[in-house]
Structure 1
Amino acid sequence: MSEQLKFIVEELNKDPFKKNFNLITFDSLEPMQLLQILNDVLAEIDPKQAIDIREEMPEQTIKRMCALLRMLKYKSLGSLSDVSSFRQGLVTGSKPVVHPVLHWLLQRIPELKKRAYLARFLVKLEVPAEFLQDDVITDTYNQYEDLVESFKTYHKQCEQLRTSGFSTAEIRRDISAMEDEKDQLIKRVERLKKRVESVPNHLRMLEQARRLRVEKERQESLTQQKQEQKNQLFQAEQRLQRLQQQLKDLRQAAANANPESLMKRLEEEMKINSYMVSEKLPKELEGMGRTVQYLQKVASEPALGQDDLQELRDKIKEADFQINQLIEKKMMRNDPMDDKLTLYRQQASIIVRKKESKAEELQEAREELAAAERELRQRSSQPKGSDGEEVVRGDELKRLVVKIRSKRTVWQKKRQEMSELKAEYGVLQRTEEILKQRHETIQQKLQTVEAEKGISGYSTTQEELERVSAIKSELDEKKGRTLDDMSEMVKALNSMIVEKKSALAPIIKELRSLRQRCQDLSVEYEEKKKQYERCAAGLESNRSKLNQEVKALREETEQEENRYHYINCMSEIVEMQIQRATEEMKAYVSSDPLERKKTFRDLYLKNISEQELLGKKLREKQKMVRENHAANMEQMKMWLDLEQLMECKKQCFIRAQSQTSIGRVIQEGGEDRLIL
């Protein structure tokens, strides 16, 4: 318990609370102050709880805190007895109830903040079944459920992005590296443009190069499509193998099984399902129904005062006493027939418990099997490569390449710094060795001189004496200062005591009379306080009943207003539909051809005819593409041959240029020789 209090005090003294408590001051807090601290911690988790509990009624405070703790899945809110005792402890501000709650909350504030944030969007509104019969309300509720599901997916994506490891600094480094590469590429393009401008027919060659690049990109897209189709084919083959294996297993099971074994298996499954439906699930539903009824009863009751709590405690004691008396009477009676049946009753209860545990294990095994099947389907639906590994997409590959490049530059810098530090370390190490050698030589010379003079060891003893004398002088100074300070402090304390005594003498005389008056006033205060509490409890119960009636009437008026608005909207929609139908009939019956053309029937017929013509044209185009497919493929082959021919011409041109430049150099060298 002391460790728990210590942890609570340490956490409350930190940010964002900054309470400046110690163990004594925290343990001596009043119940209202302790509840206010609990409310402050809850407000840190959920900002909606930032309320001064002195301005709020006690039952509203307890209801709000219990609702939030239940939403945060506090462990002590389990059974009905725990809930009632917990509510009573919160009402009175009991330390054994509030301290564990504070300890549990302060241990996991970030996790609870996230849970409270998600609860605002994921806790669904409960709509009664009679309202869901309305189509508009049903559509709105379905839209609300779709929005909740979309929020779940977006939140998961956001968490994945946060934990993916891509920080803003890395992205900025990647962007700077890409910008540098872009500048380098622009410079290279400019250099290549200057070099190409001197070549004859460079525009035509650039056009051919552009076409070649387009064809290469098309070829890459075709290869990518081919790879995707291979992956799809591989997945289909895997699925076919899996289905064939399942079919083989089913056939083997059918071949090895006979009608008797199949009937036996079906009977066992039917017994298990009938037990789950007729015994286990009804018991669970009944228990949950009792829990809900008790909670509704507790929520509808007004807040209890001290007198009501004392009355309930007396009733509980009386009921416990009656139970003990009945148990004693039963033990004194001790019917031997009952003793014979106890053994069978114990065996029956053991069998029932075993049956329930096995049913729970069966339910858990079924859930695990369903989860494993879902995971298997999800794994099998993921795209795989030819060697069974996951396929890396283009964007991920580019991101990995950029990341590796940036890490390589950082590695090179660190490696250079490391080599510089190693060189500097070698220099410093050599300097240290040289200085040590010099020091040793100087010490040896000093020792020889001392030995010659007959005072060997003089330098070491001199250093030791100087050090000891310095320490002694420091200690003497400290002793002198402490003695002077102590004497001055004693004088000051004596003078202060005399002054305080002389000043407190008249105040003590007045205090004696005031103490007696305080005792009289405290007795009167206790009587008035009891009267006030009784009156406040009665008024509070009446006010809670009136609040409930007002709330019920407001809900009824809101329902009627919603129904009124819904009926008005439906009537307007029906009127618009009737008006549209009458206009359509008038236009259809009218003798004016322009009016007839405006009817929806003619418009739809016109659209149908246009779509039929479009479909006919598309079918003709498809037929033409199928007929010209072979010719287009042959033309593509010719383009590939043309590409090879252009590459050969390019190589020949480069070789011719190199030969002409070599000949020119040889010719210039010959002319120089002739001049010489």
Structure 2
Amino acid sequence: MSEQLKFIVEQLNREPFKKNFNLITFDSLEPMQLLQTLNDVLAEIDSKQEIDIREEMPEQTAKRMFTLLGLLKYKPTGGFSDTSSFRQGLVTGSKPVIHPILHWLLQRVPELKKRAYLARFLVKLDVPGEFLTDDVISETYHQYEELVEGFKSYHKECEQLRNSGFSTAEIRRDIAAMEEEKDQLIKRVERLRKRVESVSNHQRMLELARQLRVEKEREESLAHQKQEQKNQLFQAEQRLQRCQIQLKDLRQAASDAKPESLMKRLEEEIKFNSYMVSDKLPKELERMRRKVHYLQKVASEPAMGHAELADLEDKIKQLSQMNQVMEKKVSRSDPMDDNLALYRQQASIIARKKEAKAEELQGAREELAGLTRELNAKSNQARGQGGVEIIRADEFKRYVAKMRGKNITYKKKRQETAELKAEFGILQRTEEILRQRHTAELQQLQTLEAQRGISGFSETQEELERVSAIKSELDELKGRTLDDMSEMVKKLNSAIVEKKSALSPIIKELRPLRQQCQELAEEYDEKKAQYDTCAAGLESNRSKLEQEVRTLREEIAQEENRYHHINCQKEVIEIQMQRAADEMKVYVSSDPQTRKKSIREQYMKNIAEQESLGKKLREQQKQVKESHGPNMRQVRMWKDLEQLLECKKQCYLRAQSQTSIGQVIQDSGEDRLVL
């Protein structure tokens, strides 16, 4: 499980997720956060799944994820093979359900992306059969299936093109390189044309070169035709040899075939065919007819109810019981009572053996016919593909002997090529040494010229020689002929022969050293292989030991944790035991003051105080219950008295206000009378 979590955290911290988790933070995620992480991974596989699960109902989230996992062909592991339990764990964001899904998804993200993309187009719509009776719907569904098949073919072609190794960038680079080569060739052609135009009779020479090229192409085509004719001749010879071998086999078979053996073989075939026609095939035909009749009878009968099925089951049980009784009776009966029982048994055994052998013979014949057809088909396929006939064992042996001879020749040629390459390396090294000496002599010459006060004399002399050489070459170009070229080739060949003869002793000395080098190289390869195997073994042992050390360290850590935990428990128990011993000492003590300090006495005192307090509270409760009714009536009476006094107050205030109003009116009337 820890490896699984490490893999999940490592993948989630990479592109494109960038979650920045560690083992602790990932393991402490809430169910909703874990579901959101799973949804982010599914959104990377299928962009339609990019939804915030807080804005979606849990059932819809589970249904959406369950559908996508079904399309991706995910199979639940562990104890969640049941669909209902798996769905419940997915809804609640259970870690035992989510972690295996994340591990499975992150292992194969590119593959699942491709599968989700294809499922978008290849998962067919489920149209009920009753709707397909409509012509329009049926035609539309047929077009839909054709489009799905077309998408499959196009997708396969696209994958083949992607896997073919060609890319647009490579093709563009090739085109650019070809364009550059084309420009370079055009420039070279222009330079050569300008150079040739200065030569007399250049048109004639160009025409001759063109004819030479045509003749070379014709020579190549003729060589190709010659090789094809050689191959055809070789194939015809092989076909002739096979035909001769077949003719020889047929002649041997005809020479060995006697009339008696032919008659015997024909009689055996006739007996076998008559047995198949008169005994085996009629029985099989009758059995098939009975089976078809029984199936037709079953198909024609109406559907049975539960009661009829129960009756049939009862009848089957009765028949099975009767069968068992008959078998017991037969087993109990003495075979000596029936004189023909032994012969009947032997006849039945022989008949069964006969049927078995006939079936084996028929199967062998069918297998032989199938193998013959397969052989003919493969022979025709081989002829059609490469035009090569299938060779026999003796022809293959001759071919192997021929290839061995060619292999020996190839090894000799390869050795000669290696010697020539070594000689070429020696010549290159000689040329380099001569160039270095020439450079040193030039520097020495320049130093001497500087000392004598004639600096640049050699360069001027070389320039004059070069100019004169160029002039002589230009003069010779006009009158040069093929004889001069052949003479130059002869000189070069003679120079090469001289160099070879000069270098042959050195090459002879190098041959044993080369052989020794090859032997040392073989020994080095062998030792290196031994070293690699030993290193691989040691590496595997080291990894095993590291795994064991890691396991032992984990066990040590667990045992240390357990040790500290047990020590803590031990200390707690010791403290509890000490307290119990102190309590016993105090409890057993004869001093009453000391006994009062014991926990038991304190608890008893607290219990007594709580009991007395509870008793007082119960008495108060009883008094409250008894005085509750009168007190409530008294409260109501006080409320009524308060209302009555308030009413009297209002009446008094009203009377006072009326008296003051009358006095004012009276005073105003008197004032009027005075006036």
Q: TM-score range by the shorter chain?
A: 0.3 to 0.5
Bigger Rg, structure 1 or 2: 2
Q: What is the TM-score normalised by the length of structure 2?
A: 0.34
Q: What is the TM-score normalised by the length of structure 1?
A: 0.34
